[in-house]
Structure 1
């Protein structure tokens, strides 16, 4: 499971996802990519589920890069606990995704296979996505 080894602070504010992604908007490693077009919080479990869907579909050929990392803790209180008494303990980890962010990249597979793999992965994610292809140089 993906989560950071250590963080500066144990708990984080919820925050809002405003604007477009400043970095990570271009393909840097592979020939094909999965780009987010809506803002959303993606959990570590969703990233892992998408990764499994991709690797299972491409049958371990080619190379996969995961360009996002869940580094924000989300806390929650137990069920049926009264208001007050402080903030709950960290339960899971998320990554804030802004529109334009490349989440996954693939190389060493055909375009059709990559498109199908990313279609399966996008079903596991809460964001709307677009399939992107590197411009031939």
Structure 2
């Protein structure tokens, strides 16, 4: 599982509600020639990111390369089932990455354009948000 090596605090507060504005950082393709861009704002769990990585690597094989542009550094807590109110904050359930509209999630480099599109499209089915495939010159 993807998780941070070291945290300042084990259990963070939730923070502000999801901001729907388009961001200005992390919106350009830097490493590859194609990318998967988010169109919605959401939290993406570490298991969902792992599933996307596995799917992209399965489709690409050795014919391409992949870069991960998001990382699940936020802790999400949950109280165990059947526990009454109170008693403090629940245990860490999973880690998540905050994604805003316009963020590049994954980048792919492949000489075969159709293979790169297929890899990103199959990865987009594993995510809980709407995404768009973009190329380096049009991002």
Q: TM-score range by the shorter chain?
A: over 0.9
Aligned 8 A contact 2:110 2:116 in 1 = no
Deviations 1:47-88 (A, max 9, x none): 010011111011232110000000000000000100111100
Specify which of 47, 50, 57 is matched with residue 48 of structure 1. Answer: 50
Tell me by how many angstroms 1:96 deviates: 0.4
Match of 1:3? 3
Alignment match, 1:90 = 92
Q: In 2, are the aligned partners of 1:50 and 1:122 still within 8 Å (CA)?
A: yes
CA RMSD of aligned residues (A): 1.2
Farther-moved stretch of structure 1 (127-136 vs 88-97): 127-136
Tell me the residue number matched to 1:111: 113
State the secondary structure of the residue aligned to 2:125.
helix
For the Cα contact (< 8 Å) 2:79–2:89, is it kept in 1?
Answer: yes
**Unaligned stretches of 5+ residues in structure 2:** none
For residues 124 and 72 of structure 1, what CA distance do their matches in structure 2 show?
Answer: 20
Query: Contact 1:58 / 1:109 at 8 angstroms: preserved in 2?
Result: no
Q: Which runs of 4+ in 1 moved over 4 A?
A: none
Mapped to 2, the partners of 1:13 and 1:75 lie a distance apart of 10
**Residue deviations 1:81-100 (CA, integer Å, cap 9, x gap):** 00111100111100000000
Instruction: Using the TM superposition, give the Cα deviation of residue 13 of structure 1 relative to its aligned residue in structure 2, in angstroms.
Output: 2.0
Alignment of 1:1-137 (within 5 A): 1-15=1-15, 16-18=17-19, 19-135=21-137
